[in-house]
Amino acid sequence: MSIFDQDIHKLEEKAVLIREDIIKMLLEAGSGHSAGPLGMADIFTALYFNVLNHDPTKPDWEDRDRLVLSNGHICPVLYATLAHAGYFPVSELKTLRKLGTRLQGHPHRSTLPGLETTSGPLGSGLSQACGMALAGLMDKKKWWVYCLTSDGEHDAGNTWEAIMWAGKNKLNNLTVIIDRNNIQIDGFTENIMPLEPLKQKYEAFGWHVLEIDGHNFEEIIDSCNKAKTIFNQPVCIIAHTIPGKGVDFMEKDYKWHGIPPDEKQAKQALHELRTLQGKIRSEHE
C-alpha cells in the first residue's frame, strides 16, 4: 500500500504535535520517560491515524482492533496519541502522573478509554496479546491484535515463552512491533544483553519477520498491511527507531530513557520540534 504525499505530510505533522505534547506532559509531571515515547511517536501516529480499525466514540466496540502496550513506561506517547485521536481531551494530558489522574505512570486499563491492558512489569504484554489473538481466532473474528514491545524487555524470559507459544499456535492475527532503539535504562542493549540476531530468533520460533525504518510512514503502514497477508504465522515487525527522535540533545542517548526534561531543556526541545513542524508545513505548501 502506498499513501499520498499529502497524507504522509499530515501524519508527519501529527507526530510532531504528539512529540510536543510528550515534552509538555513530562515537564508538568516532573517525572517519566523521554527517549522511548519520542522515538515511537511516528509508529503510534501511523497506527491510530491510518492502520487501526477503531472508533474513539465507541472505545469498547466489539470489532475494534486491539493494541497492547507491553512496555508501559512509554505510555506518554500512547496517552498523547489517544487524546489527539479523540478518546479524551488533549487538555487532560497535563495531569500525567498527578494524584488522582487517569494518566498513570503505567497504563491502568479500568480508568481510561482506549486501553486494552494494564501494563507495568516488562515482558507480560505479549502473553496478553497472544490470549486475545487466540480468542479472536476461536471466535472467528476479523479484528487484529497489535502488541508494542521494547527491545530491552526481550531480556525477560516470559517474552520468549510467548514468542514460542504464538508460533506454535500459528496466531496469524497477531502483529508484534518491536521498538528496536538499542537502548535500555542501564545502557545500550548490545552491551547489557545482546539480542542479535533478533530476526533469526523470531524466525526460529515460527514467525514471519519484517524490518523497517520506524520513522518512515510508508514503511510502517506497508508492513502492517503486509502482515495481514501472511498465512499461518504471527508477524514480527522490527522497527528501527531513534530514541529521543526530534530532540537533538536526547537522540541516541540512553540516559534519557527514564528521565524528564527540566524547564530549560523542555524549552529547547519544543523550539526544535516547532522548527521541524514549520519545515514540514513549508514543504507541504
What number of other Cβ atoms are within 10 A of residue 123's Cβ?
A: 21
Nearest to 262 by CA among 253, 249, 275: 249
Domain count, the chain: 1
List 183's β-bridge partners, or say none: 188
Quick one: cell of 56? 474513539
CA contacts within 13 A on the Cβ side of 27: 16
Residue 53 DSSP symbol: -
The domain that holds 207 is classified in CATH as 3.40.50.970
Nearest to 207 by CA among 142, 130, 144: 130
Distance between CA atoms of 142 and 105, rounded to whole angstroms?
32
CA contacts within 13 A on the Cβ side of 280: 20
Tens digit of pLDDT at every position of the chain (285 positions): 456 777 999 999 999 999 999 999 999 999 999 999 999 999 999 999 999 999 999 999 999 999 999 999 999 999 999 999 999 999 999 999 999 999 999 999 999 999 999 997 899 999 999 999 999 999 999 999 999 999 999 999 999 999 999 999 999 999 999 999 999 999 999 999 999 999 999 999 999 999 999 999 999 999 999 999 999 999 999 999 999 999 999 999 999 999 999 999 999 999 999 999 999 988 876
pTM tops 0.75, yes or no: yes
**DSSP letters of 108-133?**
-GGGSTT------STT-HHHHHHHHH
What's the one-letter identity of residue 200?
A: Q
Query: Could you give the C-alpha distances from 85 to 14, 80, 184, in angstroms and in order?
Result: 10, 9, 29
Q: CA angle, corner 234, sides to 233 and 240, nearest 5?
A: 130
- Which residue range is the domain that position 179 belongs to? 5-284
**CB 198, CB 171: distance < 8 Å:** no
**CB 80, CB 18: distance < 8 Å:** yes
